Amino acid sequence: MPLLQINNMSHDFGGLRAVNNYNLEIEPGQIRGLIGPNGAGKTTVFNLVSGIYTPTEGDILLNGQSIVGLKPYQIATLGLGRTFQNLRLWRHMSVLDHVKMAQYSKISYGLLGAFFGTPKRRREEAEIEEKAYGLLKLVGVADLADQLVVNLPYGDQRRVEMARALATEPRVLFLDEPTAGMNPEELIQMMEIVRLVHREFGLAIFLIEHRLKVVMELCDIIQTLVFGEVIAEGSAEEIQNDPKVIEAYLGKETIL
Amino acid sequence: MRGRPRNNEKLVVEISSGNLPEKKTLSDRIRDSFSQVPLLAWLCGILVAVLLERFLGDPFTELLGLPKIPALFGALTILRKPLLIPGTMAFLLLIYILPIIIVLRLCGPVLNRLAGWLFNLSSAVSVVIHLGLLYGILYLWSDISGYRLLTLKLTFIAVIVTLSLNVINGYMGEFSCSHPGFMALGAYSASIFTLLFFVDDKVFGSALLPEFLGPFLFPVALIFGGLVAAIGAIAIAVPSFRTRGDYLAIISLAFMFIVKSLIENLEFVRGPRGLSNQPNYVDLPTVFLWTVAAVWIINNFVRSTTGKALNAVRDDEMAADAMTVNTRRTKIVAFLFAAFWAGVAGGLFAHVLRYVNPSTFGIQKLAEVLAMVYFGGLNSVYGSIVGAVSLSLLGEALRPLEIFKWIIIPLLLILVMIYRPTGLIAFKEFNVMNLISPKRRK
């Protein structure tokens, strides 16, 4: 059984069909990529799966269970972690608090613990703090734990966001343009981190990318989305040589 | 011209001896000498000062030609009779400033070691001792006059209200205007509770329970008031937390007016004439303990990960949702929690004044509380305490200026908004352990 299965998912924004008949199957441990020109609907696919929008048609199964209509936090608790194209970090919170916050669903001390500082709360807070430090160390920003995220350079903010997504203990991790706005050096480091978390946690990863270099190197199977429809699916090589993909990115070859 | 080479020479010497940045201003030096002083020493110093005032206050006032002991550190006396300025200043210097400085100078290091010993022994014991000293100070200070006692009680209540509003407007980042409404609900519910059960009066008839139980069951009355306020808050929270934005501000403002006109039209609580004759249960220890409890519980809440979820919702709700935070529950819980404390504060308020009427809980009260929150600082327990205490005391101290008071206080607020848009002490964690720990040399 695939870990995540999307069957004939479509979504309309008013009269505009943003995603049409989208299908996807992700097996545990797979890395898959989604490419496509601007406005093709890639982020919409992410938002549909993570529950920010509800699809007009179709079904989404996470681990065999339908997640259509669930709230985003419920879907996240079921094991779907994600990052955002534009980071969406919490500007007044410290790096450590970010990673602690993402473990919200594991907290069981309840309101009583929150109000009165019971021993159970102290124990649980210590546990999630330790785990948070572990994740920060993994992505290489443990020494910045007490800093506010807004004071961090862009590359480090991306790392914090990655640690935050991992803290939700996902089984599938959705990465929305993880290397957007990065210089070549940061890009290579980011790819290392993606490989590392894939190896470390055996995660299935689904990523949107604009830079073909990244998808080509990381992904097993790549889909190309144009105007809400998948026009090609296959290995990096197949995609690279597919005339429809080339057309979508570069336009039709005309001989004068 | 002749002095110049010398200056250069001096500069060279200083560089070579390696202590160039040794130029300290007076304020730096004052700050340095006080940075080593633990909270314990401050409390002891102030305790000595209030003890002095208590036992030597009267002879001193006579000696300095003052009519009576200056109630609010001389502010009232100075503003009413400027001729008494030198006498008041001398009084403040002799009774307050000099003794405090002497205690800090003489006992600072000893008390620092004592603070360290206590802290290592048990932080809980240390907290209790600090609170005990604080209570001792406030008791001695307020014992001088009834006016001081009343001001102090109202200040404590202002602290609770401000803190609870800060949970919504600061930590959650929404804009709620309904706090006077919650206070009104709490004040009336607690008053009805005590009047019904423990007082023979015209409105509710004879007491249902023996009178001696009253003080013991008074906490129940306050909690009842808080719960009624929290139930009222559900009416706002359910419709307005589906979305973000200005809806809450509008709905909560409407709620405040609805509560006010509802009470004005309810004959069984005597409508606009208000309820009076509440029993005198709120003495200084009661209001002190309730304030300590409110600060402790609210501070616990906002420092827990459950409470910090509020900040996550404020800064980016979509990200909070994607990180497994149940945003709707978080917002509703915090809103009800804040309303509960506003209700408790309302109950205390009714029993301090021993009279409530609906017009107290109108737009002016709202302006007052909002001013305290934004003046003190958003997202900060320190800020709320500072804001509530400073604006309450300032409001009293500037009373002799009459109409000008309402020019000076808004002006101050405008200045704060210009130079510190988020308030005096914003976005700072209130860590009791840091506060009571001994100070180390840097």
B130 in the same domain as B50: yes
Q: How many domains does chain B have?
A: 2
Domain-located, residue B8: no
Q: Quote the minimal CA–CA distance from A235 to chain B in Å.
A: 30
Show which residues on chain B lie within 8 Å of chain A, measured between beta carbons: 297, 300-301, 304-309, 311-312, 314-316, 318-327, 333, 379, 427
Sign of dihedral through CA atoms A191, A195, A197, A202?
A: positive
State the smallest CA–CA distance between residue A105 and chain B in angstroms.
6
**A184 in contact with B, Cβ within 8 Å:** no
Q: Do A104 and B306 touch (CB under 8 A)?
A: yes
Helical residues (DSSP H) of B167-213, grouped into ranges: 179-198
The domain boundary, picked from B90, B105, B138, lies at B138
| Same domain? B161 vs B84 | no
Q: Let me know if residue B270 belongs to a domain.
A: yes
pLDDT for the residue numbered A148: 94
Average pLDDT of chain B? 87
* A135 neighbourhood in chain B, CB within 8 Å: none
A73:B324 CB<8 A: yes
For residue B299, list chain A residues with Cβ-Cβ distance below 8 A.
none
A11 near B CB under 8 A:
no
Query: How many CB atoms are located within 10 Å of the residue A55 CB?
Result: 22
Contact A93 B308 (CB under 8 A): yes
Burial B229-258 (b: 16+ CB within 10 A, else e): bbebbeebbeebbeeeeebbbebbbebbee
Q: Which residues of B fall within a CB distance of 8 Å from A147?
A: none
Residue B359 domain flag = yes
Distance CA A29, CA B402 (A): 74
Query: Is B435 part of any domain?
Result: no
What is the CATH code of the structural domain delimited by A4-79+170-250? Answer: 3.40.50.300
C-alpha distances in angstroms, A110 versus A105, A113, B164, B322?
11, 6, 20, 20
- B333 and B184 in a common domain: yes
Q: Does A252 touch chain B (CB under 8 A)?
A: no
Min Cα–Cα distance to chain A from B382, Å: 17
Among B112, B138, B164, which residue terminates a domain?
A: B138
| B164 contacts on A by Cβ (under 8 Å) | none
Distance CA B285, CA A108 (A): 35
Q: How far is B30 from chain A (nearest CA, A)?
A: 30
Asked if B321 lies within 8 A of A88 by C-beta distance, the reply is no
- Same domain, residue pair B272 and B124: no
Look at residue B18 and tell me if it is in a domain: no
Q: Residue A156 pLDDT more than 50?
A: yes
The per-residue pLDDT for range B383-417, each reduced to its tens digit, is: 999 999 999 999 888 888 878 888 888 898 899 88
Are B69 and B129 found together in one domain?
Answer: yes
Is residue A113 within 8 angstroms of chain B, CB to CB?
A: yes
B300/A103 touch (CB, cutoff 8 Å), yes or no: no
pLDDT tens digits along A79-103: 999 999 998 999 999 999 999 999 9
d(CA B427, CA B314): 13
Query: pLDDT, tens digit, for every residue of A20-72?
Result: 999 999 999 999 999 988 888 999 999 999 999 999 999 999 999 999 999 99
Q: Which domain holds residue B55?
A: 27-138
Q: Does B12 map to a domain?
A: no
The answer to whether residue B18 scores a pLDDT higher than 60 is no
| B421 in the same domain as B282 | yes
- Could you say which of B109, B138, B167 is where a domain stops? B138
Tell me which amino acid residue B411 is.
L
Half-sphere exposure of B56 (CA within 13 A, CB side): 14
For residue B382, count other CB atoms closer than 10 A to its CB: 18
How close is the nearest chain A Cα to the Cα of B314, in Å?
Answer: 8
Asked if residue B153 and residue B120 are part of one domain, the reply reads: no
pLDDT, tens only, B231-259 = 999 999 988 887 667 888 999 999 999 99
**Tens digits of per-residue pLDDT, B50-82?**
999 888 888 888 888 888 888 888 788 788 888
In which residue ranges of chain A is CATH 3.40.50.300 found?
A: 4-79+170-250
Residue in chain A lying closest to B310 (CA): A101
Chain B positions touching A121 (Cβ under 8 A) are 304
- Calculate how close chain B gets to A241, using CA atoms only, in Å: 36
Cβ partners under 8 Å of residue B403, min gap 6: none
> Which of A77, A90, A105 faces B312 most closely, judged by CB atoms?
A90
Residues B322, A73: C-beta atoms closer than 8 Å: yes
Closest-CA residue of chain A to B299: A115
Q: Sorting pLDDT into bands at 50, 70 and 90, what band is A214?
A: confident
- Tell me the pLDDT band of A225, cut-offs 50, 70 and 90: very high
* A62 Cβ neighbours under 8 A, 6+ residues apart: A3, A4, A75, A78, A79, A80, A171, A172
Of B301, B305, B379, the CB nearest to A104: B305
CATH code assigned at B396: 1.10.3470
> Which chain B residues are Cβ-neighbours of A105 within 8 angstroms?
324
Helix, strand or coil for residue A80? strand
> What span, in angstroms and rounded, lies between the C-alpha atoms of B359 and B368?
14
B155: pLDDT strictly greater than 90: yes
ipTM metric:
0.92
A-B Cβ pairs (cutoff 8 Å, strict): 102
Q: Specify whether B233 is located in the same domain as B277.
A: yes
- Residue of B123, B127, B323 best to disrupt the A interface, most CBs of A under 10 A: B323
Same structural domain for residues B234 and B134?
no
% residues pLDDT > 70 (chain B) = 94
The structure's pTM equals 0.90
Q: Is the CB of residue A129 less than 8 Å away from at least one CB of chain B?
A: no
Q: Which of B297, B316, B427 sits opposite A90 (nearest CB)?
A: B316
Query: Cβ of A250 under 8 Å from any chain B Cβ?
Result: no
- Closest-CA residue of chain A to B293: A116
Residues B67, B175: one domain? no
Is residue B17 included in any domain, yes or no?
no
Q: Which residues of A touch B308 (CB under 8 A)?
A: 93, 97, 100-101
Residue found by looking up tokens 């919650």 in the block: B182
Asked if the structure places residue B303 within a domain, the reply is yes
Q: Are residues B150 and B189 in the same domain?
A: yes
